[in-house]
Structure 1
Amino acid sequence: MAKKKIPSLPKLLQSKIYKTGQTRGADDDVIFQNRVNRNSTVLIPYDFYEISRTAPDNDGVFENGFIVLINPTFYFTTENINDILTSKGLSLGENCLLFYETRKEWNEFNPITKNLVLAQSRINPLGGHYVARVPSTTSANDEKLNLGYNTTSLKGAGIRIYEYASSQIIKNTQIQLEFLFWQCVDSHQVALEAGMTEENIILRKESIFEICAERKLSEIGLLQANRMIDKENNTICPLCMEKLKGMGFLSRLSQAEGRAVPDLTVTEINLFHIRELRIGEFNHKPYNLGWGHHHCNVVCKDSGIIDTLKWMKSVTDKNIAEGIVF
Structure 2
Amino acid sequence: MARLPKLPRLLAGKIYKTGQTRGADDDQVFQNRVGRNSTVLIPFGVWQAHSNIRVKAYENGYIVLISPTEYFDKYGQDISVFGLEVGVNALVYYEKREDWLMHLPENYGYREPNSRTSPLNGQYAARIANTTADSDKRINRGYTNSGLKGAGIRLYEYADTKALDETRLQLEAAFWHTVDANEKMLSAGMLQEDIDCRSKAILDRSKELGLLSYDDLIGARILNAAKELVCPLCLEPISAAGMLSRLPQASGRERHDLTVTEINLFHIKELAFGEFNHKPYNLGWGHHHCNVVCKDVGISHTLDWMKEVLGRNAIVLTE
Return the alpha-carbon distance in structure 1 between the equivalents of residues 297 and 95 of structure 2.
26
Tell me how far 1:50 sits from its aligned partner. Answer: 3.9
> What is the aligned counterpart of 2:271 among 274, 277, 283?
277
Structure 1 residue 147 and structure 2 residue 145: aligned? no
* Correspondence for 1:66 among 50, 62, 66: 62
Q: Percent identity?
A: 50
The answer on 1:306 being equivalent to 2:306 is no
Amino acid at match of 1:193: S
Residue of 2, 6, 17 corresponding to 2:15:
17
What does 1:159-238 align with in structure 2 at a 5 Å threshold? Answer: 159-238=153-232
What SS does the aligned partner of 1:154 have? coil
Matched, 1:77 2:77: no
| Deviation, structure 1 residue 12 | 0.8
Q: Which amino acid aligns with 1:90?
A: L
Q: CA 1:48–1:187 in 2, change beyond 3 Å: closer, same or farther? A: same
Which residue of 1 is the match for residue 32 of structure 2? 34
Deviation, 1:7, is: 1.2
CA RMSD of aligned residues (A): 1.7
Q: Which runs of 5+ in 2 are unaligned?
A: none
Q: In the aligned structure 1, how far is the partner of 2:143 from the partner of 2:3? A: 41
Unaligned runs of 5+ in 1: none
Relative to the length of structure 1, the TM-score reads 0.94
* Alignment equivalent of 1:102, drawn from 85, 89, 96: 96
For 1:44-63, list aligned pairs within 5 A.
44-51=42-49, 54=52, 60-63=56-59
CA deviation profile, 1:155-206 (whole Å, cap 9, x unmatched) = 0000000000001100100000001110000011111111111111111011
Q: How far did 1:53 drift?
A: 6.3
> Is the 2:69–2:99 contact (alpha carbons within 8 Å) kept by the matching residues of 1?
yes
Runs of 4 or more above 3 Å deviation: 50-56
Contact 2:222/2:284 (8 A) holds in 1: yes
Quote the offset at 1:260 in angstroms.
Answer: 2.4
Report the Cα distance in structure 2 between the residues aligned to 1:258 and 1:113, rounded to whole angstroms.
53
Residue of 113, 129, 132 corresponding to 1:138: 132
Q: For residue 284 of structure 2, what is the amino acid of its counterpart?
A: G
Taking the aligned partners of 1:54 and 1:219, their CA distance within structure 2 comes to 28
Distance in structure 1 (CA, Å) of the matches to 2:83 and 2:107: 27
> How far does residue 99 in structure 1 lie from its aligned partner after superposition?
0.1
Q: Please give the per-residue CA displacement for 1:264-315, whole angstroms capped at 9, x wherever unaligned.
A: 2111000000001111111111100000000000111011101111111111
The change in CA–CA distance for 1:140 and 1:53 in structure 2 (over 3 A counts) is farther
Q: Tell whether the 8 Å contact from 1:70 to 1:97 is kept in structure 2 after alignment.
A: yes
* Residue number in structure 2 paired with 1:158: 152
- Which letter maps to 1:275? K
CA gap 1:261/1:113 in 2 versus in 1, 3 angstroms:
same
| 3-state SS of 2:64 partner | strand
